[in-house]
Amino acid sequence: SSYYTPVMPSSLCKSRRLYISFSDVGWENWIIAPQGYMANYCLGECPFPLTTELNSTNHAILQTMVHSLDPEGTPQPCCVPVRLSPISVLFYDNHDNVVLRHYEDMVVDECGC
């Protein structure tokens, strides 16, 4: 039989902010700019029923249903990035050249199930 346990909102799947300063990781002498990086990550539950805020796929909706019927055998859907943005980094490379490089899909803006 299926069961329903209410989940606290803060534990729902969402983006968690994490800022990493390059000087904290000892990269400040070769990275010219920016000073740091938003290394946000996704964390939280995707409980049944999935609400619209959780940006879920149809598959995830079905999976929560199956999970509620068979919690031991079928896991909850995963909480993953669904919208990312790029960053540009200005740095010195291994030959002292100045490089401006553009990296796609680096900052997690939004998560979903």
**Of the listed pieces 1-9, 14-22, 63-71, 103-111, which binds other proteins according to CB under 8 A?**
103-111
- Name which of 33 and 43 has its Cβ closer to other proteins: 33
Helices (H), strands (E): how many in the chain?
A: 1, 7
Q: How far is the CB of 40 from other proteins (least distance, A)?
A: 15
* Alpha-carbon torsion angle 12, 51, 42, 65, nearest 10: 90
- Name which of 2 and 23 has its Cβ closer to other proteins: 23
Per-residue DSSP letter, 96: S
Check: CB of residue 38 under 8 Å from CB of residue 74: no
Beta strand 41-43 with 31-33 is unpaired
φ, ψ (nearest 5 deg) of residue 85: -125, 160
Size of the site for other proteins (CB under 8 A): 32
Binding residues for other proteins restricted to 4-43, rule: CB under 8 A: 25, 27, 29-30, 32-34
Write out the two tokens for 43. 């964390």
- Name which of 72 and 95 has its Cβ closer to other proteins: 95
Is 82 a binder of other proteins (CB under 8 A)? Answer: yes
Q: Which residues bind other proteins (CB under 8 A)?
A: 25, 27, 29-30, 32-34, 55, 57, 82-84, 86, 88-105, 112
